[in-house]
Amino acid sequence: MIVKDYIKRFEKLEFGLFVHFGLYSIIGRGEWAFNQCGIDRAEYERLPEKFCPDKSWAAELAATARAAGCKYITLTTRHHDGFSLYDNSPLNDYDAPHALAGRDLVREFVDACNAEGLIPFFYHTLLDWHEESYNTDFKKYLEYLRASIEILCTRYGRIGGFWFDGMWNKPDEDWEEDALYSLIRKYQPEAMIINNTGLSARGELGHIELDSVTFERGKPEPINLEGAPKYVASEMCQIFGDHWGYASLDYNFKSLADIIKDYCTCRRYGSNLLLNVGPMGDGKLRLLDTAMLRTLGDWIRSFSEATAGTLPTGVEVDGRDGDFLMKGEGAYYLFCHDLAMRGAADVVVNDDEREDFTVRFKLAERVKSMSWLENGSKVSFVQDGDELTVYTEPQPYGQSVVVRIVKIEV
């Protein structure tokens, strides 16, 4: 099996920010607004006259991503409405430089990522509601698509990768993937190439040039690479609410606890988490988006010893639902989910009065000590041969970290 170094480097990035931003951000009804909300085409295609993001949008976005603990950002350089955030001339002028903005927003994005030490990735749609040839002359459309990708490959320096989406819209067409991917390899030989398989085909392998499978809003699982010619990574993309693009009336936000659990589940299977935000029309994030990301970053920094650079073990853990074991340098890390907080009955509503908090699994190495990662307090255990019993316990009053981690020194 072929193992590419750049794919292994991608896995080490672990956490990225997905950004859905475009004309639809002005409307505030999600990225599919034109297709789903009955908006007149002529009305929608006048939106460039209003599209002018604040000049600080990219710098603020990159700073927030870094504070969240992200190592890369994937931006929608063009979404399904066909509007490009980069200069798409001479192919057409349906783009940000020819809009009210009058600027290449991808250039601003790449510069902001570089300033913050983040790796820029480019999302690019495969389906297109604006380009007429998509429905009238598909081969001509594919030439247009590849010409657009060549622009992105050649104007912005080295990029982390391409994230494609929309092939599922015409599953019976010949998308000429060989030509598309070889174009990228010509100019960006170590760029990750990812093609989203969508909600209905999570984790499926595809073309030999693809470097990662995708899990769209679904828990990652181990990838079956038996017989596969090449090693591939995996990535879960997730959203805070119910829309990828900004939707002003979307209040159905997941809790921070849910996102922390998703992040930990990704670490369990060695998958990257690509967590989405949808900036508003001016390119700014909602206060809730910013607060969620920055607080998530606090959690990640607090537990980075167990999450950064550690490897999945695949060890079967008999404990609470979701408990698992990771391996680090000279230590293992036991991730414990949903441990209650201990306190007086009139003070703590989720106090768990169970007496049995044991977690059991097999470990051949001799254990020297165990402690809770967040405060260093000792954890009791018994080791009998390769059978290990860990006596976990409720969290002390004053903390509720969602996923509590035991450091196991060997």
The pLDDT assigned to 399 comes to 93
Residue 186 lies in a domain: yes
Model confidence pLDDT, tens digit, residues 137-168 = 999 999 999 999 999 999 999 999 999 999 99
Assigned domain for 223 exists: yes
357 and 324, same structural domain? yes
Closest by CA to 360, choosing from 331, 323, 333, is: 323
Question: Which of 302, 325, 354 is the endpoint of a domain?
Answer: 302
Q: Are 121 and 163 in contact (CB under 8 A)?
A: yes
The sign of the CA dihedral 232, 262, 162, 146 is positive
235 found inside a domain = yes
Output the pLDDT for position 198: 59
Residue numbers of the domain that contains 186:
5-302
Q: Are residues 348 and 257 in the same domain?
A: no
Asked whether residue 286 falls in the same domain as residue 354, the answer is no
78 shares its domain with 108: yes
347 CB-contact burial (10 Å; exposed 0-12 / middle 13-18 / buried 19+)? exposed
Supply angle C-alpha 247, 253, 259, rounded to 5: 125
Q: Are the beta carbons of 273 and 72 closer than 8 angstroms?
A: no
Q: What is the mean pLDDT of each run of 10 residues along the chain (410 residues)?
A: 94 97 98 96 97 98 98 98 97 98 98 98 98 98 98 98 96 97 98 82 79 87 83 95 97 96 96 98 98 98 97 93 95 94 81 73 97 96 96 92 97
Rounded-to-integer distance, Cα 103 and Cα 101, Å: 5
pLDDT of residue 344: 83
CATH of the domain at 334: 2.60.40
Residue 15: which H helix or E strand, with range? strand 15-19
* Domain count across the chain: 2
Q: Is 181 in the same domain as 85?
A: yes
Find, among 322, 204, 191, the residue nearest to 263 by Cα. 322
CA distance 85 to 82: 10
Residue 355, pLDDT score: 58
Looking at 302, 336, 368, which one is the last position of a domain? Answer: 302
Q: Are residue 62 and residue 84 in the same domain, yes or no?
A: yes
Within a domain: 144: yes
294 and 191 share one domain: yes
Residue 203 in tokens: 């984790």
Say yes or no: 335 and 296 in one domain: no
Residue 21 lies in a domain: yes
Determine the residue type at 222. P
Q: Are residues 290 and 368 in the same domain?
A: no
The whole-angstrom separation of Cα 318 and Cα 237 is 28
DSSP 49: G
Last-in-domain residue among 302, 330, 353: 302
pLDDT of residue 352: 63
Residue 307 domain-assigned? no
pLDDT at 221: 83
Task: Specify whether 385 is located in the same domain as 277.
Answer: no
Task: Round to whole Å and give the CA distance between 91 and 140.
Answer: 12
Does one domain contain both 54 and 101? yes
Cβ atoms of 334 and 317 within 8 Å: the answer is: yes
Question: For the domain that residue 266 is a member of, what is the CATH number?
Answer: 3.20.20.80
Cα 310 to Cα 175, 267, 314: the distances in Å are 38, 8, 13
The answer to the question of residue 192 being in a domain is: yes
Contact 207, 177 (CB under 8 A): yes
CA distances from 236 to 17, 49, 270 (A): 11, 35, 10
* Same domain flag for 135 and 237: yes
